[in-house]
Amino acid sequence: MDMACDGRGRALRRCRAAAASVLTAALGAAVALTLSGGCGRREGTADARPVVGVSLLNVANEFIVTIEQAMRARAEELGVRLIVVDGQRSPERQVQQVETFIAQKVGAIILNPCEVEASSPAVEKARAAGVPLVNVNSETQAAPTAFVGSRDEEAARLGMTYIARRLGGTGGVLMMEGYLGQAAQLKRSAGAREVLAQHPGLKLLAAQSAEWDRAKAVTLMENWLQAYGASVRAVFAQNDEMALGALLAVERAGRKNDIVVVGVDAIGDALQAVRDGRLDATVFQDGRGQGRGAVETALRLIRKEPVARETYIPFQLVTRENAETFGRN
């Protein structure tokens, strides 16, 4: 069949190709329509509800999903229509998404920025178009209309202070950092180093990125245990995924009794590990509070009501003593 080079074969093949492309296009359109629940209809009947466009960092991240669910629930309560899109960790995509929101004439935009600098153009475009924009969870270089989130330095200070207390102020500490250059990594590193500076007895043996990733954290911790051996007394991981990875390596090496492991975020798995007495501590970041706060602020901006330029949702240290009081974040 592949050898058929005569006119009939070619025509047949061209016909088949055309049919395939039509079919693909139709299939694509059908899937898009099904998933969106029929966008044409909605635009036709002029929904009176205020519309807020939301661009999220990455919906493959458990913590971001928590924020998203809280936003959807709060929007439902307040009668706000949300258009939620996934930035998939790409600042460039976020800029495009904000441009689309502006073209759709949304009342306000909630941005969960991928990066401090690179997501800034998105903020500037919204400002130029006169659409109020709320940054949630992380910051951008460009100033948004309002910010709802938490101070990442505070989370790291809480975690590292707990380590200092557990070690009695002396011992070797390792720090696992997030993606280098992200706002959360920079601030959590800064907060942790502040505490280390106050405790000269605490020695930072090494600080490396495990890119927020559990599997990478297992590998890094295995290697660190080889390199630093008995001098390791504590690990501060800048998120729970990495803390859980480090914990697995520590447990497999039989060192859990003499190494303190602390994470940040209080994701479900980490809370469970704290309750089980495996993870020493995590720091609760109130994703639910941030999501609800962002929607509330966006609605006030649409209604031209006064808002606080910066709303900080506090962190809380979670240990075995108080773990029961925290639900699934």
CA gap 262, 232 in Å, rounded: 13
Is residue 171 within 8 A of residue 201, CB to CB? The reply is yes
Q: How far is the CB of 319 from another protein (least distance, A)?
A: 20
What's the Cα-to-Cα distance from 9 to each of 20, 21, 22, 260, rounded to whole Å? 16, 18, 20, 71
Q: How far is the CB of 62 from another protein (least distance, A)?
A: 5
CA gap 106, 139 in Å, rounded: 21
**Listed ranges 38-46, 145-153, 243-251, 307-315: which one lies at the site for another protein (CB under 8 A):** 243-251
CA gap 182, 156 in Å, rounded: 15
Q: Which is nearer to another protein, 17 or 197 (CB)?
A: 17
204 lies in the binding site for another protein (CB under 8 A): no
Order across the sheet with 108-111: list the strands. 81-86, 51-56, 108-111, 133-137, 146-149, 310-312
Q: How far is the CB of 15 from another protein (least distance, A)?
A: 15
Q: How far is the CB of 63 from another protein (least distance, A)?
A: 10
**Listed ranges 43-51, 126-134, 211-219, 304-312: which one lies at the site for another protein (CB under 8 A):** 211-219
244 lies in the binding site for another protein (CB under 8 A): yes
Q: How far is the CB of 2 from another protein (least distance, A)?
A: 7
Q: How far is the CB of 228 from another protein (least distance, A)?
A: 9
Q: Which of 90, 100, 141, 208 binds another protein (CB under 8 A)?
A: 208
The 145-184 site mask, x for binding another protein (CB under 8 A), equals --------------------------------x--x----
Q: Which of 115, 139, 265, 269 binds another protein (CB under 8 A)?
A: 269
Backbone angles phi, psi at 115, to 5 degrees: -145, 155
Q: Where are the beta strands (DSSP E) in 17-73?
A: 51-56
DSSP β-ladder status, 232-237 and 202-209: unpaired
What's the Cα-to-Cα distance from 55 to each of 11, 23, 139, rounded to whole Å? 46, 31, 14
101 lies in the binding site for another protein (CB under 8 A): no
226 lies in the binding site for another protein (CB under 8 A): yes
Own/partner pairs for 118-127, CB < 8 Å, 24+ apart?
118/91, 118/92, 119/91, 119/94, 119/95, 121/95, 122/55, 122/91, 122/94, 122/95, 122/97, 122/98, 123/98, 125/95, 125/98, 125/99, 126/98, 126/101, 126/102
**Listed ranges 44-52, 111-119, 222-230, 257-265: which one lies at the site for another protein (CB under 8 A):** 222-230
The 22-61 site mask, x for binding another protein (CB under 8 A), equals ------------------------------------xxxx
CA gap 129, 169 in Å, rounded: 52
Q: Which of 115, 139, 213, 286 binds another protein (CB under 8 A)?
A: 213
Q: Which residues bind another protein (CB under 8 A)?
A: 2, 20, 58-62, 65, 177, 180, 206, 208-209, 213-215, 218-220, 222-224, 226-227, 229, 244-245, 248, 252, 268-269, 272
